[in-house]
């Protein structure tokens, strides 16, 4: 399944860093959401990307958007990663890669690592932007620009 701009975002439930169930319907369809899929905790590009999202988190919040990071790492890995880098946003563990498949996130490097893809979803649950790039920090710039545009349109 490949999602495109204009599609409704899939509904899902995953475990957060504390092992709690996170239901996407608690946010999607209620406010803007930025979901970013990344390959692996504690790797150079993924750490830089997470820290850049962290450093810009308040800007996303100011425009009414929530951030969610998703990878196939387990909850303990996410907990350690989140604590190490003081990440203020939700990290979700997609160990069986079910959500990755729902969002059409493919694997790279002979299926060993997930692609790095960011989705911006509006308050109606509609995908407004899909950005696919190995350049981790570029995701923050693109996502924040789209969130700002949507916030201005919805005023």
Catalytic residues: 46
What are 128-131's contacts with CB under 8 Å, separation 24+? 128/5, 129/5, 130/3, 130/4, 130/5
Q: How far apart are the C-alpha atoms of 130 and 142, rounded to whole Å?
A: 9
Give the DSSP letter of residue 26: G
Contact 140, 49 (CB under 8 A): yes
Of 61, 50, 49, which Cα lies nearest the Cα of 91? 50
Q: Inter-axis angle of helices 136-153 and 44-55, to 10 degrees? A: 30
């Amino acid at each position: 399944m490949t999602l495109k701009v204009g599609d409704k975002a899939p509904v899902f439930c995953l475990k957060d860093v504390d092992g709690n169930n996170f239901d996407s319907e608690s946010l999607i369809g209620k406010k803007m959401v930025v979901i970013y899929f990344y390959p692996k905790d504690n790797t150079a590009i993924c750490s830089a990307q997470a820290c850049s999202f962290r450093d810009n988190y308040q800007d996303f919040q100011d425009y009414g958007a929530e951030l969610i990071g998703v990878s196939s790492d387990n909850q303990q890995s996410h907990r350690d990663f989140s604590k190490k880098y003081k990440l203020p946003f939700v990290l979700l563990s997609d160990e069986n890669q079910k959500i990755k498949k729902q969002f059409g996130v493919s694997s790279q490097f002979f299926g060993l690592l997930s692609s790095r893809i960011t989705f911006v979803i509006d308050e109606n649950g509609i995908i407004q932007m899909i950005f696919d790039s190995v350049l981790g920090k570029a995701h923050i710039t693109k996502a924040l620009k789209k969130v700002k545009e949507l916030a201005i349109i919805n005023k």
